[in-house]
C-alpha cells in the first residue's frame, strides 16, 4: 500500500532514501502539479527529479524531468520455442552474432544502412515525420546510423526463458544520441526562459516550458519525434535479434527445420518508460511525465526488467488512479556506479552471472545485481499497480560498456 510521503507525494516504494523523498517533494511543490506525484517502487535519486517519478502537470512541461534518454524503454518478443528446443546449443556463438548485428556502446553506430531489408522503411518514415513536422535534426547528422544501436549503461539484450520454459527475446534501449541532443537543447531553453522571467526554482533542472508558448510547442514536436525514434530503434534491434536468432537456431537444427523469423515470433510488447503524454487524471487533462515508469492503464501490457542476472516481468496494468495508471520501470539503483565499482569486482559479477552466457570483464561491474534494488520487493510493492503475466530469467546477456 502506498504512503503519503509529503502533501503531494504518494510513495509506493518500501525502500527509498531520504534524498529521493526530498527530491520528490521538491518536484511536487511546483505550482502546476495536479493532483499529486506518484513515486514508483523502484524510485531513486536522479538529475532534477527522482527516477521512478510520475509527474502530472497542467499548463507546463519540465524537459529535464522527461530526461535525456527520451523514450527509453523495453521490448519483448515471445517465440514459439521452448527450452528443450535450444538445449545444448552454443549460446556463445549466438552472442557474437547479436554483437555483430547490433552496434553496442555509446558512439558506436551502423557502418551502413543496407544490411537488413527492413531498416530503410523505418528511416524513410522517421525522415518523413521530421520533414512534415519541421523537426530540426541538424545537430545529429548521424541519426540514421544510430537507428538499431544499443548504447551502454544499463541498456542490454537478453535471451530469456519464462516460467513455462518458453523462449523470449528481450532488450532495453532508447533514443540514443539524437534523443539526448534534442533533450539537452530544450532543457537549456527552459532554463534560459525561467532566468529571463525571474522564476525562482528549487533547482535549475526543474525549469519548465509553459503551455501556449512557441517554446513548448517546439519541444512537444521534437519530443514526439524522439519518442517515435526510440520505439522504432527498439523494433529495429528486435527485428535484427529475431533474424540472427532464427539463423542461429536453423544452423543448429538437423534436417533444415524451418526457423524463419516470421515463424518464430508469437507476441511482441514495446513500451516506453521515459516520456511525456497527454492523459486525464483527477478530472483534468494533464501532461503526464513518466520518468522511469511505464503505462499501467487497465489491460495495458508492459515489461519491467530486473538487473543483469535477475528476473524480469511481463505485466498487465490495473489502471490504479492513485498510482496515476503507472508502474515501475525496473529494479532501480541502490548504489551509484562509482560506489558499485568501489564495492564489487569482476569476480563478484561472474559469481552472480553463473549459468548465464555473457561477455566477461570489469566493464560491467557497476551493473552487478547487487547495485540494484531487490526486484522481487519492487514487484511486491507494485502489486496494486500491475498483475504479473510472465516471469523471465535470462540465459544470455549482451551489454554495451
Query: Which residue numbers in the chain have pLDDT < 50?
Result: 256-257
Phi-psi category of residue 361: left, alpha or beta, with phi > 0 → left and psi -120 to 50 → alpha: left
Q: Which of 15, 329, 360, 390 is catalytic?
A: 329
Phi-psi category of residue 192: left, alpha or beta, with phi > 0 → left and psi -120 to 50 → alpha: alpha
43-65 pLDDT tens trace: 999 887 899 999 999 999 999 99
390 belongs to the catalytic site: no
Rounded to the nearest 5 percent, the helix, strand and coil shares of the chain are 35, 25, 35
Binding site: residue ranges? Answer: 69, 154-158, 172, 273-274, 305-308, 312, 329-332, 399
> For position 256, what pLDDT does the model report?
46
Domains of the chain: 3-339+389-399 (3.90.1860.10)
Binding site for Mn(2+): residue ranges? Answer: 69, 155, 172, 273
Binding site for GMP: residue ranges? Answer: 154-158, 273-274, 305-308, 312, 329-332, 399
**Cα–Cα distance measured from residue 355 to residue 51, given in angstroms and rounded to the nearest whole number:** 31
Handedness of CA 25, 216, 137, 139 (dihedral sign): negative
**Cα–Cα distance measured from residue 122 to residue 128, given in angstroms and rounded to the nearest whole number:** 10
Helix, coil or strand: residue 102:
coil
> For position 257, what pLDDT does the model report?
46
84-111 pLDDT tens trace: 999 999 999 999 999 999 999 888 999 9
Measured in residues, the chain has a length of: 401
**Cα–Cα distance measured from residue 322 to residue 296, given in angstroms and rounded to the nearest whole number:** 12
Buried b (16+ CB within 10 A) or exposed e, 197-213: eeeebeeebbbbbbeee
Full-model pTM: 0.95
8 Å CB contact between 27 and 33: yes
**Cα–Cα distance measured from residue 15 to residue 334, given in angstroms and rounded to the nearest whole number:** 9
Amino acid at each position: 500500500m502506498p504512503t503519503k510521503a509529503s502533501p503531494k507525494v504518494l510513495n509506493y516504494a518500501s525502500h527509498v532514501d531520504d534524498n529521493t523523498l526530498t527530491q520528490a517533494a521538491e518536484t511536487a511543490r511546483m505550482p502546476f502539479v495536479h493532483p499529486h506525484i506518484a513515486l514508483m517502487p523502484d524510485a531513486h535519486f536522479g538529475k532534477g527529479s527522482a527516477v521512478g517519478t510520475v509527474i502530472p502537470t497542467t499548463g507546463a512541461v519540465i524537459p529535464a524531468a522527461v530526461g535525456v534518454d527520451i523514450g527509453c524503454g523495453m521490448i519483448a518478443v515471445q517465440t514459439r520455442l521452448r527450452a528443450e528446443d535450444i538445449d545444448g546449443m552454443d549460446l556463445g556463438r549466438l552472442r557474437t552474432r547479436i554483437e555483430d548485428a547490433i552496434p553496442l556502446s555509446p558512439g558506436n553506430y551502423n557502418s551502413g544502412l543496407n544490411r537488413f531489408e527492413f531498416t530503410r522503411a523505418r528511416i524513410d518514415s522517421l525522415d518523413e515525420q521530421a520533414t512534415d513536422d519541421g523537426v530540426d535534426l541538424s545537430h545529429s547528422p548521424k541519426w540514421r546510423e544510430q537507428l538499431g544501436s544499443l548504447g551502454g549503461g544499463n541498456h542490454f539484450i537478453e535471451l530469456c526463458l519464462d516460467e513455462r520454459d518458453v523462449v523470449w527475446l528481450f532488450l532495453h534501449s532508447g533514443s540514443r544520441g539524437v534523443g539526448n541532443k534534442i533533450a539537452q537543447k530544450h532543457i537549456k531553453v527552459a532554463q534560459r526562459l525561467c532566468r529571463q522571467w525571474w522564476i525562482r526554482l528549487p533547482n535549475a533542472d526543474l525549469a519548465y516550458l509553459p503551455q501556449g508558448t512557441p517554446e513548448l510547442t517546439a519541444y512537444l514536436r521534437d519530443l514526439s519525434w524522439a519518442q517515435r525514434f526510440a520505439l522504432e530503434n527498439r523494433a529495429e534491434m528486435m527485428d535484427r535479434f529475431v533474424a540472427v536468432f532464427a539463423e542461429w537456431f536453423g544452423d543448429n537444427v538437423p534436417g533444415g527445420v524451418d526457423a524463419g523469423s516470421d515463424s518464430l515470433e508469437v507476441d511482441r510488447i514495446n513500451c516506453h518508460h521515459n516520456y511525456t503524454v497527454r492523459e486525464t487524471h483527477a478530472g483534468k487533462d494533464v501532461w503526464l511525465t513518466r520518468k522511469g515508469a511505464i503505462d499501467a492503464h487497465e489491460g495495458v501490457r508492459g515489461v519491467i526488467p530486473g538487473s543483469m542476472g535477475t528476473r524480469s516481468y511481463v505485466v498487465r496494468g490495473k489502471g490504479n488512479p492513485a498510482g496515476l495508471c503507472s508502474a515501475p520501470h525496473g529494479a532501480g539503483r541502490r548504489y551509484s556506479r562509482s560506489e558499485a565499482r568501489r564495492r564489487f569486482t569482476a569476480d563478484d559479477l561472474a559469481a552472480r552471472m553463473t549459468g548465464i552466457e555473457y561477455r566477461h570483464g570489469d566493464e560491467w561491474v557497476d551493473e552487478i545485481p547487487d547495485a540494484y534494488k531487490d526486484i522481487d520487493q519492487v514487484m511486491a510493492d507494485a502489486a496494486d499497480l500491475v498483475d504479473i503475466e510472465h516471469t523471465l530469467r535470462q540465459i544470455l546477456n549482451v551489454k554495451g560498456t
